[in-house]
């Protein structure tokens, strides 16, 4: 099986997100905001079949004590995983994979992720360019997720800048 598999948009991704959000909110002792981010949150976007959830918490250090609760849902704690002041959790099962990105309120990554999603939804031509790039990179690097990710960096940086200006 190919490690890098970019697939057409699945209408089930939104329902998968909602179901996972509900499960997460039921087990956490504090009220949190949960957002659907990444390519699976953008209608008609081709994506790696991984649902990205972003959780906004009051205090990231305090939230660390709830890590075990997420593990009861099948998540594996990955720590900051190369992004300062983030907690990453991964869940892989038979049907779908989920990643949870946790940030404290006020972290600029929250706004960046939301702005990216909203910009891509509003700008179909940019979304189409991103689909084209993802397909090319998946074909070029079918067994190397790291090279796939590196190949997207310049495009994503450009979109982040555009999304930030557009949001203002």
Domains delineated in the chain: 12-167 (3.30.460.10)
Which pLDDT score is estimated for 2?
56
Place of tokens 């949870």: 100
Report the sign of the C-alpha dihedral through residues 108, 113, 115, 116, in that order: positive
Which pLDDT score is estimated for 96?
63
Question: pTM (2 decimals)?
Answer: 0.92
Q: Band of the pLDDT at 128, cuts 50, 70, 90?
A: very high
**pLDDT above 90 (res 1):** no
Element (H, E) at 76: strand 76-77
Cα–Cα nearest to 99, from 74, 130, 133: 74
Residue 87, φ and ψ in degrees, nearest 5: -120, 130
**pLDDT above 90 covers what percent of the chain?**
83
Cα–Cα nearest to 127, from 136, 138, 116, 137: 116
DSSP category for residue 64:
G
List, in order, residues 6 or more apart from 73 with CB less than 8 Å away.
23, 24, 27, 91
**pLDDT above 70 (res 92):** yes
DSSP category for residue 140:
H
Which pLDDT score is estimated for 79?
87
Which pLDDT score is estimated for 84?
86
| Mean pLDDT to the nearest integer, 114-142 | 97
Q: How many CA atoms does the CB half-sphere of 76 hold within 13 Å?
A: 7
**pLDDT above 70 covers what percent of the chain?**
97
* pLDDT tens by residue, 21-31: 999 999 998 88
Which pLDDT score is estimated for 149?
94
Cα–Cα nearest to 78, from 121, 51, 70, 6: 70
Which pLDDT score is estimated for 94?
65
**pLDDT above 70 (res 95):** no
**pLDDT above 70 (res 9):** yes
Both tokens assigned to 49: 């079949």
Place of tokens 């090319």: 136
């Amino acid at each position: 099986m190919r490690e890098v598999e970019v697939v057409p948009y699945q209408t089930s991704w939104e329902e998968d997100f909602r179901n996972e959000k509900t499960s997460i909110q039921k087990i956490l002792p504090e009220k949190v905001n949960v957002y659907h981010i990444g390519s699976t949150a953008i209608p008609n976007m081709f994506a790696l079949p991984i649902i990205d959830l972003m959780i906004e918490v009051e205090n990231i250090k305090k939230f660390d004590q709830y890590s075990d609760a997420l593990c009861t849902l099948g998540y594996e704690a990955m720590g900051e995983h190369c992004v300062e002041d983030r907690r990453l959790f991964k869940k892989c099962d038979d049907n779908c994979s989920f990643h949870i990105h946790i940030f404290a309120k006020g972290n600029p990554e929250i706004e960046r992720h939301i702005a990216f999603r909203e910009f891509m939804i509003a700008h179909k031509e940019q979304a189409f360019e991103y689909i084209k790039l993802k397909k090319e990179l998946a074909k070029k690097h079918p067994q190397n997720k790291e090279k796939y990710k590196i190949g997207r960096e310049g495009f994503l940086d450009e979109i982040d800048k555009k999304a930030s200006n557009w949001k203002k």
